[in-house]
Protein backbone atom coordinates (compact mmCIF):
# COMPACT_ATOMS: atom_id res chain seq x y z
CA UNK A 1 0.00 0.00 0.00
CA UNK A 2 2.60 2.49 1.09
CA UNK A 3 5.03 1.44 -1.61
CA UNK A 4 2.36 1.57 -4.26
CA UNK A 5 1.31 5.08 -3.33
CA UNK A 6 4.93 6.23 -3.35
CA UNK A 7 5.35 4.63 -6.77
CA UNK A 8 2.23 6.38 -8.03
CA UNK A 9 3.39 9.70 -6.66
CA UNK A 10 6.77 9.31 -8.30
CA UNK A 11 5.26 8.43 -11.69
CA UNK A 12 2.71 11.23 -11.61
CA UNK A 13 5.22 13.80 -10.48
CA UNK A 14 7.75 12.72 -13.13
CA UNK A 15 5.08 13.10 -15.78
CA UNK A 16 4.08 16.47 -14.42
CA UNK A 17 7.68 17.60 -14.39
CA UNK A 18 8.29 16.59 -17.99
CA UNK A 19 5.06 18.24 -19.10
CA UNK A 20 5.94 21.28 -17.01
CA UNK A 21 9.39 21.52 -18.52
CA UNK A 22 8.08 21.22 -22.05
CA UNK A 23 5.25 23.66 -21.45
CA UNK A 24 7.48 26.19 -19.74
CA UNK A 25 10.07 26.19 -22.51
CA UNK A 26 7.27 27.10 -24.95
CA UNK A 27 6.29 30.15 -22.94
CA UNK A 28 7.04 33.31 -24.81
CA UNK A 29 7.90 35.95 -22.24
CA UNK A 30 10.39 37.97 -24.22
CA UNK A 31 9.92 40.77 -26.74
CA UNK A 32 10.64 40.31 -30.47
CA UNK A 33 14.00 38.80 -31.33
CA UNK A 34 15.75 41.48 -33.35
CA UNK A 35 19.39 40.45 -33.16
CA UNK A 36 21.56 37.35 -33.44
CA UNK A 37 22.30 37.43 -29.75
CA UNK A 38 18.59 37.52 -28.95
CA UNK A 39 18.16 34.04 -30.39
CA UNK A 40 20.94 32.57 -28.25
CA UNK A 41 19.91 34.42 -25.12
CA UNK A 42 16.32 33.25 -25.54
CA UNK A 43 17.39 29.63 -25.95
CA UNK A 44 19.26 29.85 -22.67
CA UNK A 45 16.32 31.64 -21.13
CA UNK A 46 13.89 28.94 -22.19
CA UNK A 47 16.08 26.19 -20.76
CA UNK A 48 16.22 28.12 -17.52
CA UNK A 49 12.47 28.70 -17.48
CA UNK A 50 11.90 24.99 -18.02
CA UNK A 51 14.32 24.02 -15.24
CA UNK A 52 12.88 26.66 -12.97
CA UNK A 53 9.36 25.43 -13.64
CA UNK A 54 10.37 21.90 -12.66
CA UNK A 55 12.02 23.05 -9.44
CA UNK A 56 9.09 25.34 -8.72
CA UNK A 57 6.46 22.66 -9.27
CA UNK A 58 8.48 20.13 -7.29
CA UNK A 59 9.01 22.31 -4.23
CA UNK A 60 5.60 23.96 -4.18
CA UNK A 61 4.00 20.59 -4.91
CA UNK A 62 5.72 18.94 -1.95
CA UNK A 63 4.86 21.93 0.18
CA UNK A 64 1.17 21.91 -0.64
CA UNK A 65 0.93 18.14 -0.54
CA UNK A 66 2.64 17.96 2.86
CA UNK A 67 0.50 20.77 4.22
CA UNK A 68 -2.69 18.99 3.19
CA UNK A 69 -1.63 15.46 3.94
CA UNK A 70 0.10 15.92 7.31
CA UNK A 71 -2.32 18.19 9.13
CA UNK A 72 -2.70 17.54 12.80
CA UNK A 73 -5.79 15.40 13.39
CA UNK A 74 -8.27 16.88 15.82
CA UNK A 75 -7.39 16.00 19.39
CA UNK A 76 -4.05 14.44 18.52
CA UNK A 77 -1.61 16.19 20.85
CA UNK A 78 1.22 13.67 20.45
CA UNK A 79 4.44 14.41 18.67
CA UNK A 80 5.27 13.03 15.24
CA UNK A 81 7.79 10.25 14.69
CA UNK A 82 11.17 11.87 15.19
CA UNK A 83 13.48 11.83 12.18
CA UNK A 84 16.62 13.92 12.54
CA UNK A 85 18.01 13.49 9.07
CA UNK A 86 18.95 11.13 6.32
CA UNK A 87 22.44 11.33 4.94
CA UNK A 88 21.61 9.82 1.55
CA UNK A 89 18.72 12.18 0.99
CA UNK A 90 20.80 15.17 2.09
CA UNK A 91 23.62 14.19 -0.26
CA UNK A 92 21.13 13.87 -3.11
CA UNK A 93 19.65 17.31 -2.60
CA UNK A 94 23.10 18.80 -2.32
CA UNK A 95 24.56 17.04 -5.34
CA UNK A 96 21.67 17.39 -7.79
CA UNK A 97 21.24 21.16 -7.45
CA UNK A 98 25.02 21.51 -7.61
CA UNK A 99 25.11 19.59 -10.87
CA UNK A 100 22.20 21.61 -12.25
CA UNK A 101 23.77 24.97 -11.50
CA UNK A 102 27.16 23.87 -12.82
CA UNK A 103 25.50 22.72 -16.04
CA UNK A 104 23.62 26.01 -16.29
CA UNK A 105 26.82 27.92 -15.57
CA UNK A 106 28.64 26.02 -18.29
CA UNK A 107 25.86 26.59 -20.81
CA UNK A 108 25.61 30.27 -19.90
CA UNK A 109 29.37 30.58 -20.37
CA UNK A 110 29.11 29.08 -23.84
CA UNK A 111 26.31 31.45 -24.81
CA UNK A 112 28.31 34.36 -23.45
CA UNK A 113 31.36 33.42 -25.50
CA UNK A 114 29.19 33.09 -28.57
CA UNK A 115 27.36 36.41 -28.25
CA UNK A 116 30.55 38.29 -27.50
CA UNK A 117 32.58 36.78 -30.33
CA UNK A 118 33.94 39.78 -32.23
CA UNK A 119 32.76 40.00 -35.83
CA UNK A 120 35.46 40.40 -38.52
CA UNK A 121 34.39 43.79 -39.83
CA UNK A 122 31.98 45.47 -37.47
CA UNK A 123 30.56 48.89 -38.09
CA UNK A 124 31.38 51.16 -35.17
CA UNK A 125 28.71 53.39 -33.66
CA UNK A 126 29.60 55.64 -30.76
CA UNK A 127 26.89 56.02 -28.16
CA UNK A 128 26.98 58.93 -25.73
CA UNK A 129 24.49 59.19 -22.92
CA UNK A 130 23.71 62.63 -21.51
CA UNK A 131 21.07 63.79 -19.07
CA UNK A 132 18.60 62.99 -20.71
CA UNK A 133 19.29 62.25 -24.36
CA UNK A 134 21.16 59.72 -26.42
CA UNK A 135 23.64 60.73 -29.09
CA UNK A 136 24.85 58.39 -31.80
CA UNK A 137 27.99 59.15 -33.78
CA UNK A 138 29.02 57.39 -36.96
CA UNK A 139 32.80 57.84 -37.03
CA UNK A 140 34.23 58.59 -40.45
CA UNK A 141 30.84 59.75 -41.68
CA UNK A 142 30.67 62.96 -39.72
CA UNK A 143 27.14 62.17 -38.66
CA UNK A 144 25.69 62.63 -35.16
CA UNK A 145 22.06 61.76 -34.55
CA UNK A 146 19.66 61.42 -31.67
CA UNK A 147 17.91 58.54 -33.32
CA UNK A 148 19.79 55.33 -33.96
CA UNK A 149 19.78 53.96 -37.51
CA UNK A 150 21.34 50.59 -38.25
CA UNK A 151 21.63 48.49 -41.41
CA UNK A 152 20.12 45.03 -40.99
CA UNK A 153 22.45 42.00 -40.69
CA UNK A 154 25.48 44.22 -40.25
CA UNK A 155 27.56 43.42 -37.14
CA UNK A 156 27.73 46.57 -35.01
CA UNK A 157 30.22 47.45 -32.32
CA UNK A 158 28.78 50.09 -30.03
CA UNK A 159 31.35 52.15 -28.15
CA UNK A 160 29.44 53.49 -25.24
CA UNK A 161 30.30 56.33 -22.90
CA UNK A 162 28.66 59.12 -20.99
CA UNK A 163 29.01 62.87 -20.82
CA UNK A 164 27.83 63.20 -17.23
CA UNK A 165 26.48 60.47 -14.93
CA UNK A 166 26.07 56.73 -15.51
CA UNK A 167 23.38 55.71 -18.00
CA UNK A 168 22.72 52.34 -19.51
CA UNK A 169 22.09 51.77 -23.20
CA UNK A 170 19.38 49.17 -23.67
CA UNK A 171 17.41 47.89 -26.63
CA UNK A 172 15.16 45.15 -25.19
CA UNK A 173 14.68 43.55 -28.62
CA UNK A 174 18.46 43.16 -28.94
CA UNK A 175 18.61 41.42 -25.49
CA UNK A 176 21.36 43.35 -23.90
CA UNK A 177 22.52 46.54 -22.36
CA UNK A 178 25.75 48.20 -21.48
CA UNK A 179 26.37 50.99 -19.00
CA UNK A 180 27.47 54.37 -20.31
CA UNK A 181 30.03 55.38 -17.72
CA UNK A 182 31.81 58.74 -17.75
CA UNK A 183 35.54 58.37 -18.24
CA UNK A 184 35.44 54.97 -19.88
CA UNK A 185 34.31 53.43 -23.14
CA UNK A 186 32.46 50.13 -23.00
CA UNK A 187 31.93 47.85 -25.95
CA UNK A 188 28.73 46.13 -26.87
CA UNK A 189 28.29 43.84 -29.89
CA UNK A 190 25.02 43.40 -31.75
CA UNK A 191 23.98 42.18 -35.17
CA UNK A 192 20.43 43.37 -35.88
CA UNK A 193 18.41 40.83 -37.80
CA UNK A 194 14.95 42.37 -38.04
CA UNK A 195 13.91 45.40 -40.00
CA UNK A 196 11.77 47.58 -37.78
CA UNK A 197 11.64 50.27 -35.14
CA UNK A 198 12.51 49.40 -31.54
CA UNK A 199 12.84 51.45 -28.37
CA UNK A 200 16.17 52.56 -26.90
CA UNK A 201 15.86 53.01 -23.16
CA UNK A 202 18.10 54.21 -20.37
CA UNK A 203 18.29 51.49 -17.73
CA UNK A 204 20.39 53.20 -15.07
CA UNK A 205 18.83 55.84 -12.83
CA UNK A 206 20.41 59.05 -14.06
CA UNK A 207 18.28 61.83 -12.59
CA UNK A 208 14.80 63.36 -12.83
CA UNK A 209 14.48 62.72 -16.57
CA UNK A 210 15.58 59.10 -16.44
CA UNK A 211 12.20 57.69 -17.47
CA UNK A 212 12.06 59.86 -20.55
CA UNK A 213 15.60 59.20 -21.69
CA UNK A 214 14.31 57.16 -24.61
CA UNK A 215 14.67 57.22 -28.34
CA UNK A 216 14.33 54.65 -31.06
CA UNK A 217 16.47 52.43 -33.14
CA UNK A 218 15.46 52.04 -36.77
CA UNK A 219 16.82 48.91 -38.36
CA UNK A 220 16.59 49.21 -42.15
CA UNK A 221 17.93 47.72 -45.32
CA UNK A 222 21.53 48.68 -46.19
CA UNK A 223 20.24 50.85 -49.04
CA UNK A 224 17.81 52.72 -46.80
CA UNK A 225 20.52 53.11 -44.21
CA UNK A 226 22.96 54.58 -46.74
CA UNK A 227 20.27 56.94 -47.95
CA UNK A 228 19.60 58.10 -44.42
CA UNK A 229 23.30 58.53 -43.75
CA UNK A 230 23.72 60.58 -46.92
CA UNK A 231 20.77 62.72 -45.94
CA UNK A 232 22.40 63.52 -42.61
CA UNK A 233 25.73 64.62 -44.04
SS (H, E, C) 75-89: CCCCCCCCCCCCHHH
CB of 152 to another protein, least distance (A): 20
CA 192 to each of CA 34, 100, 197, 198: distance values in angstroms, whole numbers, following the listed order: 6, 32, 11, 11
Among candidate residues 96, 105, 104, 115, the one with its CA nearest the CA of residue 50: 104
Among candidate residues 46, 44, 53, 70, the one with its CA nearest the CA of residue 16: 53
Residue 21's region, left for phi above 0, alpha for psi from -120 to 50, else beta, is alpha
The answer to whether 203 and 170 are in contact (CB under 8 A) is: yes
**Residue range at the interface with another protein (CB under 8 A); choices 117-125, 148-156, 195-203, 219-227:** 195-203
Q: Give residues 38-97 in contact with another protein (rule: CB under 8 A).
A: 40-41, 44-45, 48, 52, 55-56, 59-60, 62-63, 66-67, 70-73, 76, 78-86, 89-90, 93-94, 97
Question: Is residue 167 part of the contact set for Cu ion (CB under 5 A)?
Answer: yes
Q: Which does 85 bind (CB under 5 to 8 A by kind): another protein, Cu ion, none?
A: another protein
Select 55 or 152, whichever has its Cβ closest to another protein.
55
Select 37 or 167, whichever has its Cβ closest to Cu ion.
167
CB of 58 to another protein, least distance (A): 10
Chain residues in the site for Cu ion (CB under 5 A): 167, 202, 206, 213
Amino acid sequence: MRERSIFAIVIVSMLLLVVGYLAATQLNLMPTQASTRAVLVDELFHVLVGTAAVVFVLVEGILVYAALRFRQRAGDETDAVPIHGNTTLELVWTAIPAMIVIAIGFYAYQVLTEIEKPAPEPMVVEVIGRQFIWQFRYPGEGVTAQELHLPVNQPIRFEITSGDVIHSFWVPQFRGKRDATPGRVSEFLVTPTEIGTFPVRCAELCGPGHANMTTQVIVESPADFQAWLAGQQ
